[in-house]
Amino acid sequence: KNQVEQSPQSLIILEGKNCTLQCNYTVSPFSNLRWYKQDTGRGPVSLTIMTFSENTKSNGRYTATLDADTKQSSLHITASQLSDSASYICVVSEKTGANNLFFGTGTRLTVIP
């Protein structure tokens, strides 16, 4: 069964600290993996997209890694800011089929001053 699991479910960190969010998936055959940031009550916004051949991709203070062999991805946030408080959603695409996206339930990050 194709699944995407994220951990932790929630996380509280101090402003300025780094953190790492995890995403494990069983989706196969794998096409690509996306990380989205979703502010409370807002639509998800794309942070990164990684294909099978990419193992690292950065977007400012956000760095995503992908290990396609172990089917794991992480999102590392450096020097966190209050505005990083949001849910971070991992989304994995299946290579076959027209429309197979699998969403994780997200990690809720709270950055406190």
Partner 1 sequence: EAQVTQNPRYLITVTGKKLTVTCSQNMNHEYMSWYRQDPGLGLRQIYYSMNVEVTDKGDVPEGYKVSRKEKRNFPLILESPSPNQTSLYFCASSPGQGLPGSGNTIYFGEGSWLTVV
Q: Which residues bind partner 1 (CB under 8 A)?
A: 4, 31-32, 34, 36, 41-46, 49, 51, 89, 93-106
**Closest C-alpha among 7, 14, 4 to residue 113:** 14
Whether the CB-CB separation of 93 and 66 falls below 8 Å is answered with no
Nearer to partner 1, 22 or 102 (CB): 102
What is the smallest separation between the CB atom of 12 and partner 1, expressed in angstroms?
19
Q: How far apart are CA 82 and CA 15, in angstroms?
A: 6
Nearer to partner 1, 33 or 111 (CB): 33
What is the smallest separation between the CB atom of 10 and partner 1, expressed in angstroms?
12
What is the smallest separation between the CB atom of 84 and partner 1, expressed in angstroms?
19
Nearer to partner 1, 53 or 70 (CB): 53
How distant, in Å, are the alpha carbons of 17, 23, 112 from that of 94? Answer: 34, 15, 36
Residue ranges of alpha helices (H) inside 12-99 are none
